[in-house]
Amino acid sequence: MCGINGIVGKFANKTDILQMCMLTKHRGPDFTNTYYEPAKIALGHNRLAILDLKPESNQPFQSPDGRYTLVFNGEIYNYIELKSSLKDYPFSTQSDTEVLLAAFIKWGKECLNQLNGMFSFAIWDSKDEVLFAARDRFGVKPFYYSFFKDSLVFSSEISPFFKIGISRTPNESIWAGYFVNGEYQKGKQTFWKGIYRLGPGEMLTYSRKEFKVEKWYDFIQRTTEAKANLPKDLKSYFKELLLDSTSLRFRADVPVGFNLSGGLDSSMLLSLIQNQFPDNSSIEAFTFYTGDDRYDELPYVKQLVEDYSFPLNPVLITADEIPELTYQESFKQQEPFGGIPTLAYSKVFQAARSKGIKVLLDGQGADEVWAGYDYYFNAVSTNIQGVKKSPYRLNVLNSEFAAIYQKTELEEPFGERLLNLQYRDLFSTKLARALRFSDRVSMRHSTELREPFLDYRIVESAFCLDENLKVQDGKQKWLFREIAGEFLNKSIRLAPKRPLQTPQREWLSSDLKDWVSEEVKELENMPWFEKKELRKELQRFFEGDIDSSFHIWQWVNTSVILKNQETT
């Protein structure tokens, strides 16, 4: 897991690529270096050393003949197996970085289908003067790009674009969508004009002659093929996939731990780890708590681990930490993020890093893949778990600003409602934003996050299951729970889904009332908002209308992000 930066074209220069790397150094504090060809290419890399810690594996990484130069963020979990198919390549390291470059040299863009991992990378061909870049199937690792001074600029994060002179201009249509419909992204667009994201499973080619973005991963085709090839003994098949996926994600030359909550998914992860690494006390578990018994899962977590040898590290987050954490996290995210739970998650990675643990696993993705959300099986069209009424407050928006938002009808490529909802959550809403939040909070503390349940083999095979294998007798994720029955007791296996919660409503309306008031006041003179309505809704919240705090967090988060311009 690392930070990558690049400038391709006439604007390529050493000064700016180094400035970009300084802003992504938290992503890879172990080594920073650049590659430069005047007025053609400048590449920068920040390394977080996970595999083959020797300096020979530092990046930018070049092929033996010097033709190809690679900057790579992520992990190729099956690099050992791939290496056995690349015996004609003169390997000089034990890294997955070199395996990725060798695979590209041998197979070109077709190498992408061979990779089991999370990645975003760019390869410069100095002979043909072409840049090739790609992002993993589900968009675990980020890749942003922009055009500036007749050049292509790319980075793992957004702040570096502003540092080198690209305008920090809000993309009002995306901001409007955020307030009107809770949208965090729309296609390639970000919250800033002229800065774009490469989508999940997309690849990019850039030269003086062309710029092209296209899909390399065809999820629809892959799931159709997976359905045709599902074995009869599904429980055994998925059990082996889950065990293998977890084992692959323990490939590291540094300490590995995992995140834990009291829910089914992380309980399953705990059991998969215990199955393969029993009595390994060097593998540590982490969880956060707030000290509020109405929300904390710490008692459940303690029960889970009491029969295992894995040390548990409870991480406390308190209300008085929230303002400073929000300022810090907003600078790294540069786009709205998911409230106090995201800040609590950030503290987990900080705690892990303080103990020398560079890699954490978690159970992210299981709900989207195995159909765990309640709205999958009721008539509600929202994508927010457990809400009773709209969390948005359109009355506070200027009518002209709100009208900028044009709802995009998302693709529905499948003939079943459930599959289309899962597809939406995997590629456009739930998972897409969660992965962005998680990438920033983990990398802010120079820690790598790995998600075993997002192994593409599991995703493709579980997604295409018949609906009766996803829900039975009112129990969602039915087959997943059946598999969990081989590892977990009945009370955990059959427990209903609980949203990961913090006392956000209570803290924002009481403990942090003054701070919230100050931040929301900053928005009153913005043309996006109606001052009187904004004040009215805020007062309602303070007076006890706290069924939802999402709109309050939206306003606070927006205020902090927009003010953050001075620190970029």
Q: What is the pLDDT of residue 387?
A: 55
Decide if 156 contacts 144 (C-beta within 8 A): yes
Provide mean pLDDT across the span 362-389.
Answer: 79
In the predicted model, is pLDDT for residue 18 greater than 60? yes
Provide mean pLDDT across the span 222-233.
Answer: 96
Question: Count of CB atoms within 10 A of residue 214's CB?
Answer: 9
Provide mean pLDDT across the span 160-164.
Answer: 97
Query: Where do the CATH 3.60.20.10 domains begin and end in the chain?
Result: 2-217
Q: Which of 82, 176, 226 is nearest to 397 (CA)?
A: 176
% of the chain with per-residue pLDDT over 70: 95
CA angle 431, 134, 457 (to 5 degrees): 55
Crossing angle for the helix pair 513-521 and 531-542, nearest 10 degrees?
Answer: 170
Element (H, E) at 118: strand 117-125
In the predicted model, is pLDDT for residue 220 greater than 80? yes
CA angle 523, 529, 531 (to 5 degrees): 75
Residue 183 pLDDT level (bands cut at 50, 70, 90): very high
User: Given this structure, which CATH class describes domain 225-384+395-493?
Assistant: alpha beta
In the predicted model, is pLDDT for residue 280 greater than 90? no
* Separation CA 66–CA 430 (nearest Å): 42
Phi, psi of 401 (to 5 degrees): -65, -45
Q: What is the identity of the amino acid at 517?
A: S
Q: Strand (E) positions, 240-338?
A: 256-259, 285-289, 312-316
In the predicted model, is pLDDT for residue 97 greater than 80? yes
* Separation CA 318–CA 320 (nearest Å): 6
Q: What is the pLDDT of residue 107?
A: 97
Element (H, E) at 393: none
Residue 568 pLDDT level (bands cut at 50, 70, 90): very low
389-393, 497-501, 506-510, range with greatest mean pLDDT: 506-510
* Separation CA 443–CA 155 (nearest Å): 14
* Catalytic annotation, residues: 2
* Separation CA 310–CA 316 (nearest Å): 19
In the predicted model, is pLDDT for residue 313 greater than 80? yes
Q: Which of 440, 558, 563, 523 is nearest to 178 (CA)?
A: 558
Q: What is the pLDDT of residue 566?
A: 45
Q: What is the pLDDT of residue 408?
A: 82
In the predicted model, is pLDDT for residue 483 greater than 90? yes
Decide if 559 contacts 330 (C-beta within 8 A): no
The answer regarding whether domain 2-217 maps to CATH 3.30.1360.120 reads no
In the predicted model, is pLDDT for residue 164 greater than 80? yes
pTM: 0.96
- The chain-wide mean pLDDT, for the chain, equals 93
* Separation CA 456–CA 71 (nearest Å): 23
Q: Is 88 one of the annotated binding-site residues?
A: no
Read off the DSSP letter of residue 507. Answer: I
Q: Which of 68, 49, 56 is nearest to 2 (CA)?
A: 49
Q: What is the pLDDT of residue 263?
A: 83
Query: Where do the CATH 3.40.50.620 domains begin and end in the chain?
Result: 225-384+395-493
CA angle 470, 471, 474 (to 5 degrees): 160
Q: Which of 436, 443, 357 is nearest to 28 (CA)?
A: 443
Read off the DSSP letter of residue 397. Answer: B
CA distances (Å), 561 to each of 25, 286, 287, in order? 21, 29, 27
What does the block give as tokens for 31?
Answer: 């080594």
pLDDT top residue among 501 and 115? 115
